[in-house]
Chain A
């Protein structure tokens, strides 16, 4: 059986790289990432500028500041690291569907057969370069290594001048000249072996396996196997998460909206880039806020159609926060984007142009934010006869016809402009020819509410009615109305009705 080919993407100085991804403006500063609080804070990683001033991991922050007065320090941020790791995984998933999350800036991916997409003389090398370029585009300066085992691939990725390719079956030979720290830098047993005089991986591999096992136990036996290029651990592919996550802890808690939106915009930018790289758009955006001194809040914004327009998403967040302020300083935040496939449209050669699905989604989202979801949509009549009723459905127009049609001849109908809600009026009636009283004059009650509405009053010139409307006679609250079309001298044509139950008159439409 042919051995698998595994690539490793390794992000050196992971806490620092994750922080710089969230705050790229710090890249030219002497920056250190520290872990711990107060005097116990110790440097975990430092930029090149800081290292040039002799700042090294393990120093306390006070010592580091003494060496480099202009030092910028940031605490280690789990939120930043989590999103950076997600972004690294997504870079790997854009190459292979089988990706393992090894944590702390390490990702393995199955690249068996993928090199065939690179027809040059060194396909695996080209693949490694493509992996590194893709990571660079996601603001992650990752290194790549390709080998037949996870261990060899990781060691190869850690070497200078990446990408490093280890040919299949040559893992032991590749590892032999390397120092033992490369094999398992985190394992203390490497120090013990150095005291024994064993300095390289090859020296260690030459020791008898049984004696290593009897002196160093199970850990030593496994390390010895890896030194001989044997790594039986299979790739453990991960299940892609259902949401995209992006966030960070803030250096200072924020109390005002504008600074928060400034920081949030950068996070949304990164989030939308990640969605775009996977061909997704956001259908639901959740904002999780970590508040000072303690407490959490979560806000959810449902979108009418998938979008990845940062401006729109930011506007929606702004409106949400303006409507319901958090009530405490914000110490950290995370955006969770629920992905969905963006709508697609086929352009028409001869017919009218279709609306761009992206633009439409953005427009609808902004209209929802401006007016509210119950005030935007495509109207539909509802069952029943009361004219003030209607329903709204999501606007999702069908594709336009393939060939432009001539406009249908107009019907030339006199339509009614509905007065919503109906306007209460006083109507003077006189006996008609039948048993119904005919309106002869309309007056408007002198209320404050009526003064804000369209005035409907005057002498009735012509009245046509009554036209009966009965609805839901079987219900507890049935509708019974007598409608009239009236022309008021010099004021226009109106539709008025009288509630049979109460005898109250209303104007509910203007012929216009």
Chain B
């Protein structure tokens, strides 16, 4: 019964408050306090219809979350070192800026290489980079950016030891509320769970299994790696679902599947004709130069 009334609220803005009162009066006493405003109802309807998703162009995440990150929520991406967490953050930022939206990265670990961001497809003109020194500053900067209207704010805590610890849960709840109020996506990348109950979605990235090419007389080249992203928490969805995440280095073709790990003795020096196939953008440029 409630949905047609909600539609009426949205379609007849002039009568919104009257219709909202009608909706609230028709609800049981216990539920009335949950219906706060027409905007909240609108968001509920969009969430239910899956219209509020923020596409990430990372197939694993888009498949797990039915189209992308939910707007207005704190999404926590947990992953230890070499889990593909930072690459995934950059990919999400690249997707946001490629559609013409502004995006911000609060980089507590101070680990961004602008070359790497450019290589991942981030439009640097629409990208704001903040480099706090402590977690407290990072949380404050994140809240300012959300209040400033950024539709996507990524907060990366770097690798342990995180400068400032985990933060208090009240601060994370405050950020989640700010994201909800401004309909922004707040993506928190952390080495371990930090946001507690504030996170609407929690994804966990496993350790990347490195893919090497070469051996047996030819030099070893880092070709990329493969990992898995597991859905650990999301309202209305089955937990434990996993999707494969495949990552390649810039100059080496993407491996179809991670090859078996080679033995521990890479001994050969790269042949001269293979030197240009460098593994990072700056080395590629060095080789080209």
Residues of A within 8 A of B (CB): 351-353, 355-356, 359-360, 362-363, 366-367, 370-371, 375-381, 385-388, 390-392, 395, 397-398, 400-401, 404-420, 432-436, 438, 452, 454, 459-470, 483, 485, 487, 489, 491-493, 495, 509-512
Contacts and interface: CB of A to CB of B under 8 A. Distances in A.
A359 B149 contact: yes
A379 B110 CA distance: 12
A512 to B, nearest CB: 4
Q: Do most interface residues of chain A lie in helix, strand or loop, or is the interface mixed?
A: mixed
Contact of A492 (B81, B150, B224): B81
A464 B219 contact: yes
B91 interface: yes
A469 B95 CA distance: 32
A405 B249 contact: no
Contact of A355 (B96, B113, B149, B262): B149
Contact of A352 (B101, B212, B279): B101
A355 B280 contact: no
A375 B121 contact: no
Nearest to B110: A420
B149 A512 contact: no
Closest 10 CB pairs of A and B: A434-B269, A492-B82, A363-B148, A417-B111, A414-B247, A408-B98, A400-B100, A407-B95, A512-B86, A379-B114
Interface stretch (B4-12, B30-38, B128-136): B128-136
Contacts of A434: 268-269
Given A381-B118, A417-B109, A462 B264 contact: yes
B114 A381 contact: yes
A381 B82 CA distance: 24
Nearest to B223: A414
Interface string B116-127: 111111001111
Contacts of B100: 351-352, 400-401, 404-405
Contact of B94 (A355, A410, A454): A410
B285 to A, nearest CB: 6
Contacts, number: 264
B149 to A, nearest CB: 5
A225 to B, nearest CB: 62
B244 to A, nearest CB: 11
B189 to A, nearest CB: 9
Contacts of B190: none
A462 B212 contact: yes
B14 interface: no
B264 A461 contact: yes
Contact of B130 (A355, A376, A405, A464): A376
A321 to B, nearest CB: 19
B129 A379 contact: yes
A414 B98 contact: no
Contact of A469 (B58, B214, B222, B286): B286
Contacts of B90: 413, 415
B283 to A, nearest CB: 5
B225 to A, nearest CB: 6
B132 A371 contact: yes
Contacts of B270: 465, 467
Contacts of A415: 86-87, 90, 113, 116-117, 119-120
Interface stretch (B17-25, B42-50, B138-146, B169-177): B138-146
A497 B277 CA distance: 18
Contacts of B240: none
